[in-house]
Amino acid sequence: GDYETKKRLRATHEGQQRAAGTLSAHRQLYERPFPLYKQPVEVGCFSLDSRRVFCNDPRQLRYYVQPAQSPGFDLRDGYTSRFVKRDDSVKEKLDHVLRWILANRDKIQTRVQTSSSSALGVDFVTWRGHLTKVLTTPYETHEGWMLAASRFRGSIYISEVETEAARVNRETRSERQEEMMYWGYKFEQYLCADDVDGTPDPGGVVNTNEAFCTVVQTRLADHTLLFSGEVDCRVKDPDAPPAPGCYVELKTSAEICTPKQRSNFHRYKLLKWWAQSFLPGVPQIVAGFRDHDGIVVGVETIPTSKISHLIKNEYNCWKPTVCMNFCNDFLSFVKSVVTEDNPRVVYLFTWDPHRDVSFTVHRDSQYTFLPEWYIRDTSS
């Protein structure tokens, strides 16, 4: 029947891609039924303190305090007098996730039936943010990416490598851009309390070294995933669903004044917001809309599950199924390429807009990212 035909065509298509050693990112190729994506389960969490030190506990978890609908928050306040900025030239790679794994190996859930071929019992280990980039690839027209992958004891670890273009961007940001990066963190400070019975302290210091990260496990079709993502806060209600169901993602965006601005918001911003929160199962996004001077003129709660309905009136808009099918095929492609089980071998996957995903192989190079302390400890 139809299903069999489609399956054969797809197999042929993937066969050609494998033969060529590349993967197409054309969105039309990924318009298929939504693949299985299991509800993500939180298996742990960790914090990064004010000096960016890993802590195996939720000490940086904050609590959401609902603001007025038009709160008038001044996002410029405290820039730069009460701002400690993380040094973003330091490349942390997967280190924090690996530290979590070493300290919590017993908490990773391995399927009972399948005699797993990997020591950890998961196919992929990465950051959520890396998967967000993969999901949005079929719709991205400006920024490419490089993802390094190594197979070690059966699991594939994926860690981003900064592109040349991204490095130039980071090193040549204007003063206005630098300040606007602060606005997102300042918005968090207006809405988050440190304790369940506390209130936000807008007079405090914004320190972007601090982070609370969830670690979730899930499965996309044939791929089991373990990844970590930074979480802004949780709701205070102790009877709220367990994590990640109680988490809230905070965002800021320019206020929407024209139909064109609304359309752009739906087409570009909501794609990124949806991908980022859908992956770890964060159900709510609280958006602060700010004017040109950094004053928050509106706040709206957007349920992650409603985003795909919100965008349906846009002509030729993005589709969640395309994102998920592309990610599924990308992970299959990675599995077929990353065959040598050796932490000193890096397969570097590169994608640029309007191009296919391609890869190169590097032995004992600058790209090796699994640290000695992880390899040593896991081997024993």
Closer by beta carbon to Ca ion, 123 or else 232: 232
Which residue, among 101, 198, 156, 193, has the nearest Cα to 343 in the 3D structure? Answer: 156
Q: Which does 91 bind (CB under 5 to 8 A by kind): Ca ion, ligand 0WD, none?
A: ligand 0WD
DSSP H or E segment with residue 165: helix 164-171
Site for ligand 0WD in 275-314 (CB under 6 A): 276
Count of residues interacting with ligand 0WD (CB under 6 A): 17
Q: Rounded to an integer, what distance in angstroms lies between the CA atom of residue 336 and that of residue 305?
A: 32
- 91 is a site residue for ligand 0WD (CB under 6 A): yes
- 250 is a site residue for Ca ion (CB under 5 A): yes
Q: Confirm if 135 and 275 have CB atoms less than 8 A apart.
A: yes
Locus of tokens 């914090």 = 47
Name the 3-class secondary structure at 64.
strand
- 211 is a site residue for ligand 0WD (CB under 6 A): yes
Q: Prior bond to 80 cis, omega within 30?
A: yes
Binding mask 20-49 for ligand 0WD (x = CB under 6 A): ----------------------------x-
Q: Confirm if 267 and 229 have CB atoms less than 8 A apart.
A: no
Q: Which does 160 bind (CB under 5 to 8 A by kind): ligand 0WD, Ca ion, none?
A: ligand 0WD
Select the residue interacting with ligand 0WD from 58, 67, 71, 129 (CB under 6 A).
129
Closer by beta carbon to ligand 0WD, 17 or else 277: 277
- Dihedral, 45, 50, 54, 57 alpha carbons, nearest 10: -40
Closer by beta carbon to ligand 0WD, 54 or else 119: 54
Rounded to the nearest whole angstrom, what is the least distance from the CB of residue 162 to ligand 0WD in the complex? Answer: 7
Rounded to the nearest whole angstrom, what is the least distance from the CB of residue 164 to ligand 0WD in the complex? Answer: 14
- Beta bridge partners of residue 41, listed in sequence order: 217
Neighbours of 323 (CB within 10 A): 25
Select the residue interacting with ligand 0WD from 18, 32, 82, 93 (CB under 6 A).
93
Q: Which does 93 bind (CB under 5 to 8 A by kind): ligand 0WD, Ca ion, none?
A: ligand 0WD
Of the chain, the end-to-end C-alpha distance in Å amounts to: 52
Q: Which range in 10-18, 216-224, 242-250, 365-373 contacts Ca ion by CB under 5 A? A: 242-250
- 230 is a site residue for ligand 0WD (CB under 6 A): yes
Site for ligand 0WD in 57-86 (CB under 6 A): 86
Q: How far is CA 228 from CA 17, 112, 158, 269, in A?
A: 30, 23, 12, 22
Q: Which residues contact 301 (CB under 8 A, 6 or more apart)?
A: 284, 285, 286, 287
Binding stretches for ligand 0WD (CB under 6 A): 48, 86, 91-93, 96, 127-129, 132, 160, 184, 211, 229-230, 251, 276
